[in-house]
Structure formats: structure tokens, C-alpha cells
């Protein structure tokens, strides 16, 4: 539905109406920025909380064109909008951030690896592969296992196959999607660096965080990454800012990295607010969602300083019981400082339906508090 | 317009759609609480950011009844809803917080003074007065000046007359509204204490703040009140919590006080989020708006601890130039830590259109930062 009133503030159009768009609404409200989202249905997470929700298909240029009318800038809740449509919007005179030449690196893993290799960002050995034969040849040089990844469309662990032999590689190709190969990286832990870059070239980096994954889904984020060597932290931030600059990213860039005994390796890129940055809502002077708005509007960026020595974010993954609210009572009584976020999504097993954040001085205690709240909210069990 | 989808979370109906309802939407989004507001027009501050905005007249029982259908609890953006209508809603089976027996103390200053006197809360000498003769009699006992206040409906300095003689008292009565008299209190400064109380009786108090008024309008809030004697601070909090308890307040209660050389004196009460608590959005672990939601839903209250040693909030009062946004650039570049809030209201001279908050360790510096941002945003001038 379109706005029933003329906008007072700048209008930011977000393509997609998931929880990232939803969590962008609070800082938009604070700053008087008018958020508009392109949703599929009125039940989507952001559609429930944004007055100016429009409906349409992000894969259709006509829908995007209609959505863009009256927006001061267009940005994204996800990375699936075809770059050729983005080029058309820009040709129509719209500001779109991130732009297509940057965004393609978050859409196409082979293009990303090619470019990162060119600019000297640390990558695992990799190759474009068109069949099991190519994978065997890659393995002959780099050893098994070989990680095969869908060049496009992978998400939360989907589209990734860790193959221990040629037979498993053959299975991965059975899906018919274009794949690329990467050497398996034995890593100590996973890190993520969130940076913002604005069209006029300002860049800021949040502290490096540790992300904990289960079955390819991020379940926990520790900010800052505990016991990380300060030189490694600085290098991780330099790498992320360099990627943002070289790729011309505008808005947020999340760089997922492996910490290995031979240094840092870039794993994945995302060009939008990112699960590894949800802790910034309470844990930083500027939340990633406010930062993204500032960046795409080409406003000066906010301070990324932390509000407490440690912040721990734990995702809420849906369980069997759809009624989270009855569990608020224990969690809030048990810990008056824990912050609960629920995305207004129907609870389904394994689905990301919210997160909790705890802040404090003692990492172990902060982590235990966040975990207690998350486990109780999703299962009703005490930890 | 009504929601196009069945709610997932509890539904909180807020009567009124000003900036207080607007600033309640961010924590409602975070907690998955569905906010509904009763607005006069779609241009109002909260109507612009709340999907489930209904239109109607808060003075009409029929409109309130229709609004209340499907709400889990009803609360208020202002204190002007007739208590007899609230009683009807409760008779219909609705939960309303604060309830009419508490709310009347924020609506009727004579009822408030009567009750505060009964419970031993510190008040100035006061009397119900029905004409200039009563005022002269009051002045004979307590001296001039006498402060005459409209018993109902005063706001932001309106409805208050400081009378130095009988002639001025006569002028005040010319308006025809019922008045009460209070002795003029020579105060050193104004303080405010914000407390929350839930239906099950839990109470919390935020730190005591200093409020700075100009022409009866709050322009600046310093949290905590600098150089306040810790015993006075504790006593102020005890007074506010006692008032909340004795009056049966559910939700937030702001108690405005005078600091005098003979101790603290209660000036005014408000039963809703309050201008003196806007600093809590960034300055406290639980914002007053989240706290109000928790309280009216009878959820355990959040920690009111501060996130920095000092927080200073400065109101933005509209100037001649309606375009605030072009001034964001300087303010954000000058101070990446200052937080800007704009209420999405048309800019009119003297109107509260937003506020800024700064946090830090050094009060003078924090205050200078907040003032610089506020002055520049509203006038374009440097301080």
C-alpha cells in the first residue's frame, strides 16, 4: 500500500522484507527516514512493521521500476536482485546502493574469488570447475577434501558440498547448478568483519567478531573476537576495508573469514546488514542498521565504538512450540539486562526467528546469560 | 486501517499518535509486540510509522470501544482520555494501564495535591480556589507571588499563571477554567524521577535527572542530575516509587520535582513516557519506551542502569526552516557519536520536533556536544 501522506524525510526503498529490513525500521524511525519495502506478502517480517510496504517480484524489472518511483535511494534486504535490473534502475536515474558492479561479488562466488585474488586478498586455492573431472584435477594439486560451492544462490550452508572423493563430487554436480571448487581450509575458528563505506568514500570498521556456526547456520557471535591477536584484528579490518574500497561497495559489507594457522582467509562476502552484526543494536554506539542507512544516503558514518567490553548475540532458531511470548516472563525476570529480539515470523523448526544479546565485562558470564535466554526461549529448558 | 494479517505477538493499543507512541514502536518491533495507535490524522508522528493505525476521537466512547477490540492492553500517549470512558472499557473486559484511579492524578492537579498530601509526599502549600478572593486569602497566609494552575488540561507551561498581585489573579480567572493555587517555590533547579510499576507490583527507578526549562518547555535533560547529594537522589527515588505504589500506577510515572533549600518538592506528575526520559533510548540498558511496554504487559521490568556516566538530551524546537535533513550532514560529520531523533512532524516555530542525545564521561563535554548538534540542526548556527 502506498503512503497516505507526503513524506517529510528522505525515502529509502529496501528490496525485500525480511528481518534485516525489519530491524532497519527502528533507526529509520529515529532519524525520520521514511522506509519503503518491496515484499511478497503482508505476513513478511518487515511488512508487519513498515507502513509503506509495496508488493511485487524483485525479479521483475517492471515491479522494481514501480517500487523505485519516489525513492531517494534503493538498497537491499538480500542479494538476489538481478544486476541487469539494477543497471536499468540506475539508467532511469535512481541511486542504488550497493551498485551492480559491487553487488555481483556477493552474488557470484567465482567473480568474487577472481576479484579478491586480483586485489591480493587472502583466498584459499580455488578454481572454476565444469564437471567431476575438473574436481579430480583440482584435488590432484590441492588434495581432498574439496569444497564445491554453487556459484550463485547458496545461503546458510545450502549450496556447499564438502567432497572427500570423486564420487561425492559427482553427486554435487547431479543438481545441475554451476559449481566452483575451493581447497578445504582447516581453520581454528570463524571471524567476521563488518565495515561500512559511503558513496563519497568514507569507511568505518566494527570490531572483529567470532562467529560460531552449526550446520552452516550462524548460531552465536562474540564481539570482539576473544583473544584475537591485535595485529590479526587490525589486518582483518584492513582486508575488509580494502575489499569495500576496491569493489566499490556502498552500504555495509560483511567479510567472513577463517582464522587458520597460516593466517586469515576470506570465506564469504555479504553486502547488507549481516547476522554477525546484530549485536551492534545494543553493543555499539551506531547499530549496523543505522550505519547502513547513513551509508546509502551518503551521510557521515556513525561511531562503531562498543558500549560494553563484550557483547554476545545468540540466534533463536524455531523449535516445536510456536508461542515464544509466554517464555518472555522467565527470561526477563531471570536477567533484566538481556535484550530479546523477535522477528514477527511464524515459528518453524530451524528457522531464524529472533536473537538475544547480552552485554558485560566478563565474556564467560555474558555468553552464559545470552545462551540461557536463547535456549529457554526456544525450548523451555534451563541451561 | 486495520492489520492485513493476524497478529503473532501481543497487541498493545496506544491512544494517541504523537512522538511518544512513535518512539514506542522501535522496542515494540524488537520484542515482536504489535503496536496499534488511535490517531486523528495520517500525518501524525506515530501514524507515519505504525501499520495498524486506526482513526477516531479519544473523547468518544464508541471510538475507544472499536479501537480496543483485539488489543491485549490499552495504554496512552497522552493523559486526556476521560476516566469515565476508561471505566467503561474495563467493564467491557479490557486491560487498561494506567487505570482510571491512577490516571486521574495526572489529569486533575487538585486531586493530585490532595492525594500527595495524604500520603505525605512533599508538596508546596496549596488550595482549591474559586475566585480572586480565595487567592487573596491564600496570599495572606503564604505571600505573593501565588501560582495559579488550571486544574485540568495544562501542558508545557500553558495553564500556569505566576501572579504577583490580586489584579493578575483576576486576569487568570478571566479564562473561565477552574484554577487551584500553590505557593511560589523558590527552587534551585528542577529534577525529574522516572519510575515504572507493573500490575503485579514490581517497581524500578531510573537515575534522578536535572531538567532545564525555558518558557515552561523542557529544553535540556542531564542524566544523572549533576552534583546531586546521594541522599537526596535516593529520597527522590523513594518519593517517586511511593507515589507510584500508593496511586496504583501501572506503566511509567514521571515525577517532576523542585530542588529547594528546604528539600525536595513534588511539582507535577505524568503517567506515560516523558520528555525527561528520552535520554534512556541510548543512555540506559532499557529505554523508557521498552519499559512502558513491559510494565503495561505485566512483563518483568528491564534494568534501568546507565550505559555511560552521563547522558544529555536536548530538545529540537522548530525554527523557521522546515528542512532539517540538509543539516544532518554537518552534525554527523562533526560528531559521529551524537544521536539524532526526528519525530516526522511538520516543522513549526517552537514545536518539539525531535531531540538529540550525547553520552560520555565528561558532563561539560557531553552537554556541549548535545547543544552544538541541537542548535545547528534547528538554526544552522555554530555554537
Chain segment A7-42, per-residue pLDDT in tens: 789 999 999 999 999 999 999 999 999 999 999 999
Residues on chain A touching B43 (C-beta within 8 angstroms): 5
Domain containing A141 — which CATH number?
3.30.1490.20
A77 contacts A23 by C-beta, under 8 angstroms: no
Residue B156 pLDDT class (50, 70, 90 cuts): low
Position A56 pLDDT exceeds 60? yes
B348 touches chain A (CB under 8 A): no
Q: How many of the other CB atoms lie within 10 Å of CB of B1? A: 13
B382 touches chain A (CB under 8 A): no
User: In the listed set A96, A113, A142, which residue is the last one of a domain according to the structure?
Assistant: A96
Across the interface, of B8, B281, B328, the residue whose CB is closest to A344 is B8
Position B334 pLDDT exceeds 60? yes
pLDDT at B109: 96
Residue A98 pLDDT class (50, 70, 90 cuts): very high
Output the CA–CA distances (angstroms, integers) from residue B68 to A47, B56, B92, B103, in the order listed. Answer: 23, 12, 10, 18
User: H/E element holding A341?
Assistant: strand A339-342
A169/A206 same-domain check: no
A17/A87 same-domain check: yes
- List all residues 6 or more positions away from A228 whose beta carbon is below 8 Å from its beta carbon: A191, A208, A210, A259
| Residue A308 backbone class (left: φ over 0; alpha: ψ -120 to 50; beta: rest) | beta
HSE of B246 in the Cβ direction (CA atoms, 13 Å)?
16
Q: Is residue A24 part of a domain?
A: yes
B4 touches chain A (CB under 8 A): yes
For chain B, the domain total comes to: 3
Per the structure, the complete domain to which residue A90 belongs is given by 11-96
User: For A36, which residue in chain B has the nearest alpha carbon?
Assistant: B49
Average pLDDT, integer, range A264-290? 98
φ, ψ of residue B54 in degrees (nearest 5): -110, 155
pLDDT at B158: 80
HSE of A215 in the Cβ direction (CA atoms, 13 Å)?
3
Q: State whether A30 and B340 contact (CB < 8 Å).
A: yes
Position A155 pLDDT exceeds 90? no
DSSP 8-state symbol, A284: B
The helix/strand/coil state of A235 is: helix
A168/A232 same-domain check: no
Position B4 pLDDT exceeds 60? no
φ, ψ of residue A106 in degrees (nearest 5): -95, -5
B84 exposure class (CB count in 10 Å sphere: 0-12, 13-18, 19+): exposed
B171/B195 same-domain check: no
Q: B196 to chain A, minimum CA–CA distance in Å?
A: 14
B164/B226 same-domain check: no
Position B134 pLDDT exceeds 50? yes
B78 exposure class (CB count in 10 Å sphere: 0-12, 13-18, 19+): middle
Neighbouring-strand partners of residue A341: A355
Taking only residues 96 to 125 of chain A, the set having a beta carbon closer than 8 angstroms to any beta carbon of chain B reads none
Closest Cα to residue A130, out of A116, A148, A103?
A: A148
Residues on chain A touching B296 (C-beta within 8 angstroms): none
Mean pLDDT of chain A: 95
**CA torsion A20→A17→A266→A134, rounded to 10°?**
160
A61-68 vs A83-91: helix crossing angle, rounded to 10: 40
Residue A185 marked ligand-binding: yes
Residues on chain B touching A344 (C-beta within 8 angstroms): 8-9, 29, 32, 34
Average pLDDT, integer, range A71-78? 97
Position B220 pLDDT exceeds 80? yes
Q: How far apart are alpha carbons A234 and A154 in whole angstroms?
A: 29
Q: Is residue A5 part of a domain?
A: no
pLDDT at A4: 52
B283/B213 same-domain check: yes
Position B157 pLDDT exceeds 80? no
Q: How far apart are alpha carbons B371 and B313 in whole angstroms?
A: 9
Residue A109 marked ligand-binding: yes
Position A3 pLDDT exceeds 70? no
A58/A130 same-domain check: no
Q: pLDDT tens digits, residue range A194-237?
A: 999 999 999 999 999 999 998 888 899 999 999 999 999 999 99
Position B2 pLDDT exceeds 50? no
Q: Is residue A160 part of a domain?
A: yes
Residue B5 pLDDT class (50, 70, 90 cuts): low
Average pLDDT, integer, range A269-293? 98
Give the percent of chain A with pLDDT over 90. Answer: 89
Q: pLDDT tens digits, residue range B298-321?
A: 999 999 999 999 999 999 999 877
User: In the listed set B160, B183, B206, which residue is the last one of a domain according to the structure?
Assistant: B183
Q: Which of B30, B203, B331, B377 to mutate to test the interface with A (most CBs of A within 10 A)?
A: B30
Q: Which of A23, A304, A309, A325 to mutate to test the interface with B (most CBs of B within 10 A)?
A: A325
Q: State whether B5 and A339 contact (CB < 8 Å).
A: no
Position B131 pLDDT exceeds 60? yes
Taking only residues 280 to 339 of chain B, the set having a beta carbon closer than 8 angstroms to any beta carbon of chain A reads 281-282, 285-286, 294, 299-303, 305, 307-308, 324-325, 328-329, 332-333, 336-337, 339
Q: How far apart are alpha carbons A254 and A278 in whole angstroms?
A: 12
Residues on chain A touching B344 (C-beta within 8 angstroms): 8-9, 29, 32, 34
Q: Is residue A120 part of a domain?
A: no
Position A76 pLDDT exceeds 90? yes
Taking only residues 42 to 61 of chain A, the set having a beta carbon closer than 8 angstroms to any beta carbon of chain B reads 42-43, 48-51, 53
Domain containing B365 — which CATH number?
3.30.470.20
Average pLDDT, integer, range B141-150? 96
Across the interface, of A8, A26, A346, the residue whose CB is closest to B344 is A8
Closest Cα to residue B279, out of B290, B291, B288?
A: B288
Residue B100 pLDDT class (50, 70, 90 cuts): very high
pLDDT at A381: 87
The helix/strand/coil state of A311 is: strand
Measure CA B256 to chain center: 9
pLDDT at A1: 42
User: For B332, which residue in chain A has the nearest alpha carbon?
Assistant: A300
A-B CB pairs within 8 A amount to 137
Across the interface, of B9, B26, B281, the residue whose CB is closest to A325 is B9
φ, ψ of residue A196 in degrees (nearest 5): -125, 145
The pairing of strands A263-270 and A310-317 is: unpaired
Position B149 pLDDT exceeds 70? yes
Q: B308 to chain A, minimum CA–CA distance in Å?
A: 8
C-alpha cell at B373: 548538534
Cα–Cα–Cα angle for A233, A239, A240, rounded to 5 degrees: 90
pLDDT at A156: 66
Residue B323 pLDDT class (50, 70, 90 cuts): confident
B129/B211 same-domain check: no
B29 touches chain A (CB under 8 A): yes
C-alpha cell at A334: 531471570
Q: How far apart are alpha carbons B22 and A88 in whole angstroms?
A: 36
User: In the listed set B53, B81, B96, which residue is the last one of a domain according to the structure?
Assistant: B96
The ipTM, to two decimals, is 0.96
Residues on chain B touching A376 (C-beta within 8 angstroms): none
Position B170 pLDDT exceeds 60? yes
B240 contacts B113 by C-beta, under 8 angstroms: no
**CA torsion B269→B272→B277→B283, rounded to 10°?**
150
Across the interface, of B32, B336, B344, the residue whose CB is closest to A300 is B336
Residue A346 pLDDT class (50, 70, 90 cuts): confident
Neighbouring-strand partners of residue A256: A192, A268
Q: State whether A22 and B5 contact (CB < 8 Å).
A: no
pLDDT at B215: 83
Position A58 pLDDT exceeds 60? yes
Mean pLDDT of chain B: 95
A216 contacts A158 by C-beta, under 8 angstroms: yes
Q: pLDDT tens digits, residue range B340-361?
A: 999 999 888 889 999 999 999 9
Q: Which of B29, B316, B327, B329 to mutate to test the interface with A (most CBs of A within 10 A)?
A: B29
Q: Is residue B83 part of a domain?
A: yes
Across the interface, of A10, A23, A302, the residue whose CB is closest to B336 is A302
Q: Is residue B351 part of a domain?
A: yes
Residues on chain B touching A55 (C-beta within 8 angstroms): none
A44/A69 same-domain check: yes
Residue A152 pLDDT class (50, 70, 90 cuts): very high
End-to-end CA distance of chain B: 45
DSSP 8-state symbol, A355: E
Q: Is residue B117 part of a domain?
A: no
B258/B360 same-domain check: yes
Q: B27 to chain A, minimum CA–CA distance in Å?
A: 8
3-state secondary structure chain B: CCCCCCCCCCEEEEECCCHHHHHHHHHHHHHCCEEEEEECCCCCCCCCCCCEEEECCCCCHHHHHHHHCCCCEEEECCCCCCHHHHHHHHHCCCCECCCHHHHHHHHEHHHHHHHHHHHCCCCCCEEEECCHHHHHHHHHHHCCCEEEEECECCECCECEEEECCHHHHHHHHCCCCCEEEEECCCCCEEEEEEEEECCCCCEEECCCEEEEEECCEEEEEEECCCCCCHHHHHHHHHHHHHHHHHHCCCEEEEEEEEEECCEEEEEEEECCCCHHHCCHHHHECCCHHHHHHHHHCCCCCCCCCECCCEEEEEEEECCCCCCCHHHHHHHHHHCCCCEEEECCCCCCCCCEEEEEEEEECCHHHHHHHHHHHHHHHHHCCCC
Position A2 pLDDT exceeds 50? no
Q: A239 to chain B, minimum CA–CA distance in Å?
A: 23
Q: State whether A336 and B9 contact (CB < 8 Å).
A: no
Q: Is residue A361 part of a domain?
A: yes
Across the interface, of A10, A49, A324, the residue whose CB is closest to B325 is A10
For chain A, how are helix, strand and coil distributed in percent, rounded to 5?
35, 30, 40
Closest Cα to residue B237, out of B272, B192, B275, B270?
A: B192
Q: How far apart are alpha carbons B9 and A327 in whole angstroms?
A: 12
C-alpha cell at A137: 584435477
pLDDT at B231: 97
Position A333 pLDDT exceeds 50? yes
Give the percent of chain B with pLDDT over 70. Answer: 98
A130/A261 same-domain check: no
A253/A179 same-domain check: no
Amino acid at each position: 500500500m502506498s503512503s497516505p501522506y507526503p513524506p517529510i524525510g528522505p525515502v529509502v526503498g529496501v528490496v525485500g522484507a525480511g528481518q534485516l529490513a525489519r530491524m532497519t525500521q527502528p533507526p529509520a524511525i529515529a532519524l525520520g527516514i521514511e522506509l519503503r519495502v518491496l515484499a511478497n506478502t503482508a505476513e513478511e517480517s518487515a511488512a508487519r512493521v513498515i507502513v509503506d510496504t509495496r508488493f511485487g517480484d524483485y525479479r521483475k524489472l517492471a515491479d522494481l521500476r514501480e517500487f523505485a518511483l519516489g525513492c531517494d535511494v534503493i538498497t537491499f534486504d538480500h542479494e538476489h536482485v538481478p544486476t541487469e535490473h539494477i543497471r536499468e534502475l540506475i539508467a532511469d536515474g535512481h541511486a542504488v546502493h550497493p551498485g551492480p558492479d559491487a553487488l555481483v561479488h556477493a552474488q557470484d562466488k567465482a567473480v568474487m574469488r577472481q576479484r579478491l585474488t586480483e586485489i591480493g586478498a587472502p583466498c584459499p586455492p580455488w578454481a572454476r570447475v565444469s564437471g567431476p573431472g575438473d574436481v579430480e584435477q583440482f584435488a590432484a594439486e590441492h588434495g581432498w577434501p574439496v569444497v564445491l560451492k554453487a556459484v550463485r544462490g547458496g545461503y546458510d550452508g545450502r549450496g556447499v558440498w564438502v567432497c572427500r572423493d570423486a564420487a561425492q563430487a559427482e553427486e554435487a554436480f547431479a543438481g545441475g547448478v554451476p559449481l566452483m571448487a575451493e581447497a578445504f581450509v582447516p581453520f581454528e575458528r570463524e571471524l567476521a568483519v563488518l565495515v561500512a563505506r559511503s558513496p563519497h568514500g568514507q569507511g568505518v570498521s566494527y570490531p572483529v567478531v567470532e562467529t560460531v556456526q552449526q550446520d552452516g547456520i550462524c548460531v552465536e557471535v562474540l564481539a570482539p573476537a576473544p583473544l584475537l591477536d591485535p595485529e590479526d584484528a587490525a589486518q582483518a579490518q584492513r582486508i575488509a576495508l580494502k575489499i569495500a574500497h576496491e569493489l566499490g561497495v556502498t552500504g555495509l559489507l560483511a567479510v567472513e573469514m577463517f582464522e587458520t594457522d597460516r593466517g586469515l582467509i576470506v570465506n564469504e562476502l555479504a553486502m547488507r546488514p549481516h547476522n554477525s552484526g546484530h549485536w551492534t543494536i545494543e553493543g555499539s554506539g551506531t547499530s549496523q542498521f543505522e550505519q547502513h542507512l547513513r551509508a546509502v544516503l551518503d551521510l557521515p558514518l556513525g561511531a562503531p565504538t562498543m558500549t560494553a567490553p563484550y557483547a554476545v548475540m545468540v540466534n533463536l532458531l524455531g523449535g516445536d512450540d510456536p508461542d515464544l511470548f509466554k517464555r518472555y516472563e522467565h527470561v526477563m525476570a531471570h536477567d533484566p539486562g538481556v535484550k530479546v529480539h523477535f522477528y514477527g515470523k511464524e515459528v518453524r523448526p530451524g528457522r531464524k526467528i529472533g536473537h538475544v544479546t547480552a552485554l558485560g565485562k566478563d565474556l564467560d558470564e555474558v555468553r552464559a546469560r545470552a545462551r540461557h535466554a536463547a535456549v529457554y526461549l526456544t525450548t523451555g529448558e534451563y541451561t
